[in-house]
Structure 1
Amino acid sequence: MRISSAIPAVLAVAALALAGCSSPDGADDGEWPEELTISLVPSVQGEDLAEALDPLTEYLSDGLGIEVNGVVATDYAATVEALGAGQSQVIITDAGSLYHATTQFDAELILRDVRFGATSYASMAVTNNPDKYCDGEVVTASYEASDDEFSYCNGIEPGSEATGEGPGGLEALAKIDADTPVALQAATSPAGYQYPIVSIKEQGIDTDQDIDQIPVEGNNNAILAVYNGDAEVGFAYWDARVDVLDEAPDVAEKTVAFAYTDMIPNGGVAVADSLPDDLVAELTELMDDYASSSDEAATVMFDLVGLSDWTDETAEDEIDRYGEVLEQFTN
């Protein structure tokens, strides 16, 4: 059986034990296990799970010549727990969990998630007061995903096609003065809170005392808070302004992006260090090729985990930086 039904995370870890899958001797003697288990948090749930997950596990089983099982974790942390317990050997998870898996359990990062051609994204700072935060003229650039024109300054978009590549313009965050209302999302949001807070602090600002934090839910509401004048500065992923065009069609004129944070990494795929190198190499190649193997595979991948592809260009420095940011918010 290649599909395990959705179960709570604690039970999932207990239910995953598979004889012969987690022997630490595998990496030493080159022997392949008889089967592998992949732990992931799918985008689909319930009755759609088997339909979404089975094509991937069957593709990998056929390619590797061993049985590949899929099991559902209820959250990303559970994927790391399963790998650390030796009860799964492959995890498809988020960037924070990749960091914990590699640092705590010596897992190997083999692939990064690709969404719409990108493996990472910046958080952007937007304002309704460009005279204060923009050094030089405001320019427009085309957001390729929608062909909409948005406003930028401080040289963060030097060409006619916007790229969203950070960091850039961060020195302008030093212009946030006492009691400036700043729209921030939940403390667990990398683009809406964590990277912005770290970036503001690096400009010498006490984010607890020197700004007025305006809590909002979601990237669209961070943009709308600035658009409506409830906040002077807001943070969201690049370029979340596209999400509010229906309700704020003139958002490009009323809000200007003036800074990009460091790039925030997408998640990816990691494997246990007990797996033989040749198995890891074949698994990596198979998963890297999956999205392009058929039209069905591309659909399955997007429906299953919301991705357009995987890439073996893992950019581990971005994962390490993400870990440094996360550690600032521990406890």
Structure 2
Amino acid sequence: MYRRTWLSLLLLIVMAGVIAGCTASDPGTGALGDQKKSEGTAAQASFPRTIKHFKGETVIKERPVKIAAPYITYVDNLVVLDEIPVAAQGMAMMSTFPNLQKKLEGKSVIDLGKEVSMEKLLASQPDLIIASDDMADKYDQLSQIAPTVIFPYTEDWKGTLQLIAGAIGKEEKAAAFLAEFDRKAKEYKAKLASRSGETVLFAMYGGKEFITFNEERVAAFYKELGLKPVPGSEKGGSLSLETLATMNPDHIFIVNNWAAPIKKGVKDTLKDNAIWNGMKAPKSNHVYYIEDTSVLGPMPLGKMIAIEEVMKAMGNP
């Protein structure tokens, strides 16, 4: 059985109210390392080039023009590389990712649906299909439509961006984006240094519980920006308000709960709650809202938005 997308996992977890790490396993760590090495070699070559991937090797004869992305996370990667896919998964869900949605405004992209329609994929006549390993069982079928590369799911979004860039000849664009991310992260980390001793929690609010995420899922916040996690929150999970109060973080970021949105938001919903009002973050007006759910996924644009949102909220002590 192959893995669901991280967004589907998030939906199941949020609706159940239980997160045990909120991340899929990463069976492709070794393969990813081998692929990075292969892509580094391919980066120096012109087309045709041979790309090693989850299901073997694929020869890409010339630079692809019409690229299909039957995995919503890879749409983000392609947009960062200045490529608009001819067809993509989950276009109807783009309101969940407002920053990515803005990049796609006015662009003609065939919606492959939440569950990828092979008929629509065929009709899009792509030059290249870039899929995740949740479609590995359909590799032969995909390859009959167009040359296909399948990359393993991983939280290593930087590595994935480099793999995709290597497949389509956009290595320099990927390198420039990653350099800009690292530059901003370093700058923001220095500016936030005065708050390095203050605890920060990232969560979704489900109406009754707060849903938190494991370290790998929120590494862009803690590792890149030098923020201090709340002790006991490293593995992620569901927290009652009472448990959250005992942890009592200095800052709380609430990420848009797209699966079960709270109409009034956490601040209005809990404004008369004595436990909530007794906590440090609400008392100091240090509760912030992030609308774009992509900050939690292995999505390059989402990660750039993530560090900018934190800087905007905490950069002026």
TM range (shorter): 0.3 to 0.5
More helix by share: 2
TM-score (norm 2): 0.33
User: Which one has the largest radius of gyration?
Assistant: 1
TM-score (norm 1): 0.32
More strand by share: 1
Greater relative contact order (Cα < 8 A, sep 6+): 1
